[in-house]
Each structure stands twice: as C-alpha cells, then as structure tokens.
Amino acid sequence: MSLFDLSGRVAIVTGANTGIGQGIALALAGAGADIAAVGRTPATDTAEAVRKLGRRCVLVAADLSTIEPVPRIIAETLDHLGGLDILVNNAGIIRRADSVDFSEADWDAVIDTNLKSVFFLAQAAGRHMIAQHAKDGRRGKIINIASMLTFQGGIRVPSYTASKSGVGGLTKLLANEWAAKGVNVNAIAPGYIATSNTDALRADPDRNASILSRIPAGRWGDAADLGGAAVFLAASASDYVDGHILAVDGGWLAR
C-alpha cells in the first residue's frame, strides 16, 4: 500500500463548496478517499468533480456558525459512506474593521465559526476515531485549517487572528491528548490564497502589491496548492506527525 493511498477512507471536508475546501476535497478524492462535503450551500460542483474521479460524495448541509449541526454531520457521514477516517476543519469566515471600531457581533460570528465549531466537530470526530482505533487499529486524521495569522498579528481582523491563533493551540492540545490513542491532529496554514476571503485584499492595489512583494514564490497561491499537504496529513505517510502546523505559503514566513 502506498504511503499516500487513501483508498477505502472517508473524509469530512467542511466549507467544501469553493476555494480551499474544494481544492482539498478533490485532492483527497484523487488519492482514493470518499468525501462528505459539508457547507451552508450545496457543494454540487465539488460533488460532481469527486464523482468524476470515481469516488463517492455525499452533500451535508450545515451552517457551522453554531455547533447544532455537529452530531448530524457525523451521523450522515457514517450513514451514507459507512465510516469516518479523516476530518478537515476548513469552514471559516472573516470580518474586517479597525480594532477601535470592531463590533461584538463580528467578534462572536468569527469565533463561533472558526474556533468553537472547529473544536466541537473535532471532538465528535475524535470520539469516533478513538473508539475505532481501539477496536481495529485504524488511525484517524484530523486536519485543521490555520492561517498565516496563527503566527502573525495581521491588521484589521482581530477576531480572525484570535480564532486562527486558537486553532493552532487546539491542534497542539488535541495532538497531546490523542496521539497515543490513534488520532493524528495537525494543521495546514495557507499563505495568501486567491479565494473569496481574500477578495478585498486583491482588490486593493496597494495591499495586493505589498503582499506580492513579500511572497518569494512571486504569486498568490491557488487552492490546488494545498492538496498535496492535505493528502500527506491524511495518509499513513504522516503517522508519526502530531501537533504540527504545516505552512503552505510560497515562502511568506521565511521572508
């Protein structure tokens, strides 16, 4: 069996309808995994592309601004795909405003989606994966999506920075608790990727130029650039990798 073969594995990917989530879902499917594509809007394009790769895909409608749908996401995945081996916590939102003007509503919305739901979905998946490993030795893989702002402060995104710093901390905490119980917990920290979350930055000529000038690779990243890292962290190749935050950033942090 290849170190990167995901045949027979089932992955939940949140925020799978576009951007980073879609790119990761297709990469995992390309390596052999079946996909539960979770999103507020149906990830129909993602599902079609997954099925063209010869893999199964179930659409799970869920708004992760609250933890209400968490048990149902796990249950529908198990019911329709027969298992759960991989969780990719990708769903996230961002709000921009100067810190002196930042509202409680924007703070709560981002923290609830980007941090609270990430923890409770990981908790639910972890319970299943720990029990599964105890039963048959099968390992679970949880991949959280962090950010450059897991390492840096950023500007005008206080709740986003707080949430992604929290994702980094949770990744390490869960790895500490679950590594010996058959669950690898790691994170990917995307650099500046061309998605809807970065539309405002790319539309601002000064910010766009400033960002590009710092990226050694000389370009914005594409969602597909994250696929290899996701497959690695989902596969047996990473069985001894725990609590790591893998930057896929075109060299941004090295600058």
Active site residues: 160
Q: What are phi and psi of 146, to 5 degrees?
A: -90, -145
Report how far residue 115's alpha carbon sits from residue 127's, in angstroms, rounded to the nearest whole number.
Answer: 18
| 57-61, strands of its sheet edge to edge | 57-61, 34-39, 10-14, 86-89, 140-145, 183-190, 245-248
Tokens 């027969």 sit on residue: 82
In the beta sheet, which residues pair with residue 184? 141
Query: One-letter amino acid identity for 220?
Result: W
Residues in Cβ contact with 140 at an 8 Å cutoff, skipping those fewer than 6 apart = 84, 85, 86, 87, 125, 126, 128, 129, 130, 132, 133, 182, 183, 184
Q: How many other C-beta atoms can be found within 10 angstroms of the C-beta atom of residue 44?
A: 13
